[in-house]
């Protein structure tokens, strides 16, 4: 299983290139699910990177879930 930071970094690279993220198996990632765990949480800076990558991506249309990441209100906006 790939860690939350590992999946996030992989997905952002694909999204920034205007592509749909792919798992290591080559299967497309249908939804971006980054549920924060006790020792792995996304930061506000991570969400800024993700939102920039998504702004210019017209291929990915899946759901985005960011549960339990302790993000600030600014990151949520």
pLDDT in tens, 19-33: 999 999 999 999 999
* Measured distance CA(2)–CA(19) in Å, rounded: 20
Q: What is the pTM of this model?
A: 0.89
Counted domains in the chain:
1
pLDDT confidence tier of residue 1, bands split at 50, 70 and 90:
low
Structure tokens at 19: 């592509």
Residue-wise pLDDT tens digits, 41-64: 999 999 999 999 999 999 999 999
Q: DSSP state, 41? A: -
Q: DSSP state, 40? A: B
- Provide the residue range defining the domain that includes 62: 4-76
Q: Which helix (H) or strand (E) holds 46?
A: helix 44-55
Q: Are the CB atoms for 48 and 12 separated by under 8 Å?
A: no
């Amino acid at each position: 299983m790939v860690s939350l930071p590992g999946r996030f970094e992989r997905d952002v690279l694909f999204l920034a290139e205007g592509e749909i993220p792919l798992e290591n198996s080559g299967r497309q990632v249908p939804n971006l699910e980054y549920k924060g765990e006790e020792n792995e949480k996304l930061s506000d800076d991570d969400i800024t990177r993700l939102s920039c990558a998504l702004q210019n991506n017209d291929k990915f249309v899946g759901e985005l879930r960011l549960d339990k990441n302790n993000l600030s209100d600014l990151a949520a906006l």
